[in-house]
Amino acid sequence: MTPALPRVHIGVFDSGLGGLSVLRDLRQAGSQAQLSYLADSGHAPYGERDADFVVERTRRAARFMRERGAQLLVIACNTATAAAVNPLRAELAGWPIVGIEPGIKPALALTRNGHIGVMATRGTLHSERFVALQAMLAAEAPDVRFHLQACVGLAQAIEQHPLHSPAVAEVIARHTAPLREAGCDVVVLGCTHYPLVAPQIQAKLAPGVQLVDTSQAVARRTAALAAELPPIAAAQPDALYTTGDPGPLQALAERWAGVRALAQRVKI
């Protein structure tokens, strides 16, 4: 269970709409908190971009949130975390930054047959941060096999099409098939976009497969850091920003995360 968020201003950033899966858990934990969400949909998806591009876009997002008074930044994007969280923490020392990464460690505690699937972007799976984490856990559990599935096109499909559309279903089917064939009994959702279509993913896997999503863990870490911050005088209404089309963000934020705000298009 996530501790209640105090009256603080939290900025949440993602390459697009995926971070709404994190925003939902933060909103449920914090009736007093002020939440600002920035979707860089105009430059999504990040998973197929090079690291320098992702670092620069994340820097701009962080600057944008600081200028709007956010006391804490949540990078609700696995690819951005993998590429940029360490340099950002060094550059912005003293400003709390929470990142997110695939939950392969909790997956180890859940697997019964030793076959764990990891659905993530190519950028996340090839990052030094993920490779180091996987190597460490593989050494701890040498009998476990990780099946890495680079889900090319899935985040983009979620950005561009309705969640239950045939276009999204086709990409999900293509990327879950290898994990089903490998007999994975646990599948890690290593991109914040993927929980938005978790029921569709679940339906394409074998019965009884457990999905691992780290959104709640991120919310708990955010709540712990927020408890150390001075409360703001009065929380302002939640804010939604995007570098792309405001319509999908506004609609999905209300339906998925319970956040009602007029989405604004911005240039960063």
- Cα 209–Cα 253–Cα 247 angle in degrees, nearest 5: 120
Whether residue 79 is annotated as binding a ligand: the answer is yes
Active site residue 191: yes
Whether residue 69 is annotated as binding a ligand: the answer is no
As a whole number of angstroms, the distance between CA 190 and CA 79 comes to 9
CB atoms within 10 A of CB 127: 21
As a whole number of angstroms, the distance between CA 18 and CA 255 comes to 13
Among residues 33, 39, 77, 212, which one is catalytic? Answer: 77
- The residues with which 186 forms a beta bridge, in sequence order, are 116, 210
Among residues 191, 197, 219, 239, which one is catalytic? Answer: 191
Q: Which helix (H) or strand (E) holds 50?
A: none
3-class SS of residue 141: coil
CA distances from 245 to 89, 153, 180, 230, 264 (A): 30, 19, 35, 34, 9
| Contact between residue 47 and residue 191 where contact means Cβ atoms under 8 Å apart | yes
DSSP assigned state of 231: P
Whether residue 193 is annotated as binding a ligand: the answer is yes
- The residues with which 166 forms a beta bridge, in sequence order, are none
Whether residue 78 is annotated as binding a ligand: the answer is yes
Active site residue 151: no
Before 45, cis peptide (omega within 30)? yes
Instruction: Provide the Cα torsion 177, 182, 187, 191; round to 10°.
Output: -50
Q: Which residue spans within the chain are E strands per DSSP?
A: 9-14, 34-39, 72-75, 97-98, 115-120, 145-150, 186-189, 210-212, 239-242, 263-265
Give catalytic residues, as residue numbers: 77, 191
Which residues participate in the annotated binding site for substrate? 14-15, 46-47, 78-79, 192-193
Which residues participate in the annotated binding site? 14-15, 46-47, 78-79, 192-193
